[in-house]
Amino acid sequence: MPNLPAGPGRALWGLIRATHALPTLAVTAFFTATALAAGLGPRSALLALAVIVGQSSIGWANDYLDAPLDRAAGRTDKPVASGDVRRGTVGACAAAALVADVPLSLLIGWRAGAAHLVAVGSAWLYDLRLKHTLLSALPYVVSFGLVPVIVAAALPGHPRPQLALVAAAAACGVAAHFANTLGDVDADTATGVRGLPQRVGPDHSAVVAAALIAVAAGCLVVATDAAPLAIAAGVVDTAAAAVVVARGGARDRAFTLLIVGVAVLVAAFVVSGGDRLTAG
């Protein structure tokens, strides 16, 4: 992380970090790659713009709402808690991005746009309330499960996506939820965050994340009619997930490893079966 002096540059960098830049860019890239492979063409750029604005609004909302807890936990990795950017600025950006995402989403088409707004709204519901409850995984099921639905709805004729791909996307989303908590155990304990992963504990959360990646890989194999590349990606991802479970030292990198794993699955799908997004 750059060691920037106080001033506009530091605030801007803090604002970028508050979007949760790595997952925001990863989700946008996965969306765009899937859309291009499915044949959406130049309209994939519109989808990418809506996704990155929506994801930014979610990240900003998360850091705005969590600022008091992050300060209490001494989270120097969080730009609001560390004083790099003002909480009010982050909150204003979250609200502005959410409002802007409505017309941007609808530019894709009202069906796809409505589905995307449901996905964004589900993630906001996580930030606002559900992250502290036993239902914390539900927004991940909804928001990630809607990814193939959104892309398919934007295609001519608005076909339905393969159910196996909906299941794969939802499994990846919930796996990300569990993996993301593995490096935050101490902070979550200090601030009293008690979502589902925190309640089952880090050891079980690692197992759940690994198992869900294996499920996603299996669904991809089904969706691509057992394409060799999909099988290979599934074997690699499952093996890597098993390493995370077996080696506790790898858990602080679990979320980054999971993003790489999902990228491998998306790449395998794009190369071996991008045109198989839909059921028809």
Mean pLDDT of 133-137: 95
Query: What is the per-residue pLDDT for 101?
Result: 98
> CB–CB of 183/254 below 8 Å?
yes
What is the reported pLDDT for 7?
Answer: 60
Mean per-residue pLDDT, 256-271: 91
Residue 83 CB partners (closer than 8 Å, separation 6+): none
Q: What is the pLDDT of residues 66-107, one digit of tens each?
A: 999 888 878 888 899 889 999 999 999 999 999 999 999 999
Residue 220 above 70 pLDDT? yes
Q: CA-CA distances (angstroms) from residue 263 to 50, 194, 236?
A: 20, 29, 12
Buried b vs exposed e over 33-51: b needs ≥16 C-beta within 10 Å? bbbbbbebeebbebbbbbb
Query: What local confidence, expressed as pLDDT, does residue 269 receive?
Result: 93
The rounded distance, in Å, linking the Cα atoms of 153 and 110 is 9
CA distance 160 to 280: 7
User: Is the overall model pTM greater than 0.85, yes or no?
Assistant: yes
Are 176 and 131 within 8 A, CB to CB? no
**pLDDT of amino acid 122:** 98
| CB contact at 8 A, 57 and 49 | no
Counting every residue written for the chain, the total comes to: 280
80 Cβ contact partners less than 8 Å away, ≥ 6 residues apart: 14, 18, 63, 64, 67, 70, 86, 87, 90
User: For 112-134, b where at least 16 C-beta lie within 10 A, e where not — what string?
Assistant: bbebbbbbbbbbbbbbeebbbee
Q: What is the pLDDT of residues 16-32, one digit of tens each?
A: 999 999 999 999 999 99
Phi-psi region of 29 (alpha: psi -120 to 50; beta: other; left: phi over 0): alpha
pLDDT tens across 182-208, in order? 877 767 766 777 899 989 988 888 889
Q: What is the mean pLDDT of the chain?
A: 90
